[in-house]
Amino acid sequence: MKGPKTVRVNGIDISYDDAGTGPLVVMVMGTGSPGRVWQAHQQPALVKAGYRVVTFDNRGIAPSSECAEGFTHDDMVADTAGLIEHLGAGPAFVVGTSLGARITQELALARPDVVKAAVMIATYGRNSPLQQAISAGERALYDNKITLPPDYAAAITAHLNLSPHTLDDDRAAKDWLDVIGFSPQTVTAGVRAQLGLHDREADRLGAYRGISRPALVIGFADDRTLPPKLAREVADAIPGARYEEISKAGHFGYLEQPGEVNRLLIEFLDAHR
């Protein structure tokens, strides 16, 4: 591990971690989560497989600039491109989940020069009514200064993001509730700015026909937050994209089923080294 660093790109500060040697993999996290979430399972597996792995905190997530005044998807795409250019080892393999997957596919479209191949996990190309309603509710909670009781917040987070197969096991459910409760997601002003993105997302499926980089899309069969049909739509839109769906996994499938996620990632990256 080379340790956390901060770099000025695209007019803001980006905090990142750099580990391993080999072809560069840049990993983009989803709404409200720090880049270190990748370090639980994906980063170690990719480093062991011979890759240099960079994880980072998106704008909105301290210690990167929070940019509480608001920002756009284009800003986040430019941040990721700027980080890859700073690292000087591109084009990079880019892997994203949820909002990070949306950024990844937009990056592959807008800046194919910095993307060697792209992996989108639990992704989407358009808003669904449920996604819009959940996002609006999250914004309203923050704007009205409402804080849910911690145990209830943990239960809602688990219900929305974990597979019923996980939650049907009482011991596993208790362990997950403990983990979520010990490390709750705090909605800061920067996270609120990220949530604001979801109110302005257009249907981009037609545009994704212009993506020219090799692409792997991974959906999770039990994803309540972004159902796998949305990920499949993205794969269907990108010429030549490969789609894989992992069973017994919810929106946090990369944490629930890390072995299968890592297997697909390494298989795809190795094929495009």
Q: Which of 1 and 182 is assigned the larger pLDDT?
A: 182
pLDDT tens column, 200-238: 788 999 999 999 999 999 999 999 999 999 999 999 999
Query: DSSP of 58-112, one letter per residue?
Result: PTTSTTS---TT---HHHHHHHHHHHHHHHT--SEEEEEETHHHHHHHHHHHH-G
- pLDDT grade for 3, boundaries at 50, 70 and 90: low
Q: What is the pLDDT of residue 2?
A: 54
Q: What is the pLDDT of residue 204?
A: 96
CATH of the domain at 22: 3.40.50.1820
Q: Is the pLDDT of residue 261 over 60?
A: yes
Q: What are phi and psi of 12, to 5 degrees?
A: -135, 170
- pLDDT grade for 183, boundaries at 50, 70 and 90: confident
Residues with catalytic annotation?
98, 223, 251
Residues of the chain by 3-state class (helix, strand, coil), percent to 5: 50, 20, 35
pLDDT tens column, 53-101: 999 999 999 999 999 999 999 999 999 999 999 999 989 999 999 999 9
Q: What is the pLDDT of residue 187?
A: 84
Q: What are phi and psi of 62, to 5 degrees?
A: -65, 145
Q: How many domains, in total, are found in the chain?
A: 1
pLDDT tens column, 186-199: 789 999 999 898 87
Q: Whole domain around residue 22: which residue ranges?
A: 4-271
- pLDDT grade for 129, boundaries at 50, 70 and 90: confident
Residue 49's alpha-carbon distances to 16, 52, 241, in angstroms, are 20, 9, 23
Closest-CA residue to 105 (of 92, 96, 93, 114):
96
- pLDDT grade for 1, boundaries at 50, 70 and 90: very low
d(C-alpha 156, C-alpha 259), whole Å:
25
d(C-alpha 83, C-alpha 64), whole Å:
12
Q: Is the pLDDT of residue 26 over 90?
A: yes
What value does the mean pLDDT of the chain take? Answer: 95
Identify the H or E element spanning 115.
Answer: strand 115-121
